[in-house]
């Protein structure tokens, strides 16, 4: 079969509206029988749904795995990709390379049969789900028989030989957060991790302490008693407290208490619930930095909210990509026996 010529950014797969990139597109072409010369066709085994997206889907389904399946299949049937229409976010996948287009075959370090993880969002990835085999409601992971397309411009990572696939997927899903944290934290800083008991929060706690050092102070928050009890066992935290992240005034007061009357130099917000913008902003000192990693963040609320209280802080969008983020995140887990043990218990079983 003759290969079709594709656009490096995947615009050849966009159905509606024409002229936009695959991520903001309403609908993309997920016909896997078509051959484009710059695509990578993958057999997909596991989807790791973005935390904000999976939380929303799980809430809508009332926690019922069968209803979760129905919602996910409906999303892919409607849009040709897994882009949650409520949160706008997707996730990532692990699978095996089935075919590499002729235009890129000799340009990339990849061959058919290689096991890889996608490092671009499912919200832009053409996806065809043949069957949802199992939904893991506690880990956001979904076992599937599916196919997906990676474009020439996509980023991906070969799965490491020293880790279980599900462990690697859990790490790579949040790789941007610890890598960005490493860039933001300097020795001696006060760092607040909002949502420190979760997947990205735990890894960010380790990285924050690594870079803040002995003279720095890292404090984590949790919204539940169970989460707080877990934080008490985390060796990288100098303090912790329980607080609903949407309670902005409470976050401000508890943060001041935790840092001895001061606020945080850097706030890393990784909670997957909406309306948590102001809690993170109020916890930061004047001229401090707030990093919003969660896709549940409403940046209009963040911008206007900071203006409304006269708070001059640098606010960063949680870009899931930064240079070498996959290698950085995997290495951080290799370094920390505690983080690796927790991840294996949660995501491998």
CATH of residue 220's domain is: 3.40.50.720
Structure tokens at 56: 């929303």
Task: Give the whole-angstrom CA distance, residue 340 versus residue 166.
Answer: 12
Domain contains 68: yes
DSSP secondary structure string for all residues of 6-73? --TTSGGGEEESTTS-TTT-SEE---TT--BTT-EEEEEEEEEE-HHHHHHHHHHTTT-HHHHHHHHH
Q: Which tens digits make up the pLDDT trace of 210-268?
A: 999 999 999 999 999 999 999 999 999 999 999 999 999 999 999 999 999 999 999 99
- Judgement on whether residues 131 and 189 belong to the same structural domain of the protein: no
Domain contains 170: no
- Judgement on whether residues 151 and 181 belong to the same structural domain of the protein: no
Provide the greatest CA pair distance for the chain. 69
Residue 2 has pLDDT above 70, yes or no: no
Q: Whose CA is closest to 56, among 28, 21, 84, 36?
A: 84
Residue 321 has pLDDT above 90, yes or no: no
DSSP class of residue 348? T
DSSP secondary structure string for all residues of 157-220? EEPPTTS-HHHHHHHHHTTHHHHHHHHH--TT-EEEEETTTSHHHHHHHHHHHHHH-TTSEEEE
- Judgement on whether residues 102 and 190 belong to the same structural domain of the protein: no
Q: What is the CA radius of gyration of the chain?
A: 20
Domain contains 166: no
Per the document, the length of the chain is: 349
- Judgement on whether residues 243 and 148 belong to the same structural domain of the protein: no
- Judgement on whether residues 232 and 292 belong to the same structural domain of the protein: yes
Which residues span the domain enclosing 320?
Answer: 176-347
Domain boundary among 130, 159, 188: 159
The mean predicted confidence, pLDDT, of the chain is 95
- Judgement on whether residues 148 and 180 belong to the same structural domain of the protein: no
- Judgement on whether residues 206 and 231 belong to the same structural domain of the protein: yes
Q: Containing H/E element for 307?
A: helix 299-308
- Residue 147 has φ and ψ, to the nearest 5°, of -130, 150
- Whole-model pTM? 0.83
The set of residues, in sequence order, having a beta carbon less than 8 Å from that of 173 and lying 6+ positions away, is 48, 50, 91, 92, 140, 199
- Judgement on whether residues 155 and 180 belong to the same structural domain of the protein: no
**What integer pLDDT is reported at residue 322 of this predicted model?**
85
Domain contains 165: no
Report CA 190 to chain centroid distance, whole Å.
Answer: 24
Domain contains 1: no
Between the alpha carbon of residue 323 and those of residues 91, 104, 107, 297, the distances in Å are 19, 22, 19, 23
Domain contains 118: yes
Sign of CA dihedral 288, 293, 295, 296: negative
Domain contains 276: yes
- Judgement on whether residues 298 and 214 belong to the same structural domain of the protein: yes
Domain contains 4: no
| Residue 272 near residue 195 (C-beta atoms within 8 A) | yes
Section 54-75 average pLDDT:
96
Structure tokens at 242: 């329980």
| Residue 80 near residue 126 (C-beta atoms within 8 A) | yes
- Judgement on whether residues 153 and 230 belong to the same structural domain of the protein: no
Report CA 78 to chain centroid distance, whole Å.
Answer: 23
Residue 180: pLDDT band with limits 50, 70, 90: very high
Higher pLDDT: 33 or 294? It is 33
Residue 1: pLDDT band with limits 50, 70, 90: low
| Residue 190 near residue 262 (C-beta atoms within 8 A) | yes
Residue 348: pLDDT band with limits 50, 70, 90: confident
- Judgement on whether residues 311 and 183 belong to the same structural domain of the protein: yes
- What's the number of domains the chain is made of? 2
4-13, 301-310, 319-328, 332-341, range with the lowest pLDDT: 319-328
Section 43-69 average pLDDT:
95
Q: Whose CA is closest to 142, among 204, 89, 192, 95?
A: 95
Task: Give the whole-angstrom CA distance, residue 204 versus residue 106.
Answer: 37
**What integer pLDDT is reported at residue 166 of this predicted model?**
87
Residue 320 has pLDDT above 80, yes or no: no
- Judgement on whether residues 343 and 295 belong to the same structural domain of the protein: yes
Percentage of the residues of the chain whose pLDDT score is greater than 90: 89
């Amino acid at each position: 079969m003759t290969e079709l010529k594709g656009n490096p950014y995947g615009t050849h797969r966009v159905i509606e509206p024409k002229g936009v990139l695959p991520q903001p597109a309403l609908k993309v072409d997920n016909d896997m029988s078509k051959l484009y010369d710059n695509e990578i066709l993958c057999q997909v085994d596991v989807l790791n749904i973005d935390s904000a997206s999976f939380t929303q889907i799980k809430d809508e389904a009332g926690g019922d795995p069968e209803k979760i399946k129905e919602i996910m299949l409906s999303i892919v049937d409607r849009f040709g990709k897994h882009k949650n229409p409520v949160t706008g976010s997707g996730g990532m996948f692990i699978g095996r390379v089935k075919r590499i287009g002729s235009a890129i075959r000799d340009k990339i370090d990849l061959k058919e049969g290689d096991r890889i993880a996608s490092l671009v969002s499912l919200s832009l990835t053409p996806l065809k789900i043949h069957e949802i085999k199992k939904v893991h409601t506690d880990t956001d992971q979904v076992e599937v028989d599916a196919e997906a397309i990676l474009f020439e411009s996509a980023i991906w990572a070969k799965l490491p030989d020293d880790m279980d696939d599900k462990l690697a997927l859990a790490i790579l899903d949040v790789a941007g957060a610890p890598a960005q944290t490493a860039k933001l934290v300097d020795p001696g800083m006060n760092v607040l991790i909002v949502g420190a008991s979760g997947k990205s929060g735990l890894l960010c706690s380790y990285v924050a302490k690594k870079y803040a050092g002995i003279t720095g102070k890292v404090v984590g928050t949790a919204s539940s008693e169970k989460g707080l009890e877990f934080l008490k066992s985390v060796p990288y935290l100098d303090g912790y407290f329980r607080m609903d992240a949407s309670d902005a005034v409470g976050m401000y007061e508890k943060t001041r208490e935790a840092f001895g009357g001061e606020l945080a130099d850097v706030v890393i917000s990784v909670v997957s619930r909406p309306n948590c913008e102001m809690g993170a902003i109020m916890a930061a000192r004047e001229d401090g930095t707030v990093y919003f990693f969660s896709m549940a963040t409403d940046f209009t609320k963040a911008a206007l909210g900071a203006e409304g209280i006269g708070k001059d802080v640098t606010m960063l969008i949680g870009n899931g990509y930064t240079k070498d983020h996959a290698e950085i995140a995997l290495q951080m887990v290799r370094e920390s026996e505690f983080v690796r043990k927790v991840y294996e218990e949660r995501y491998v079983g």
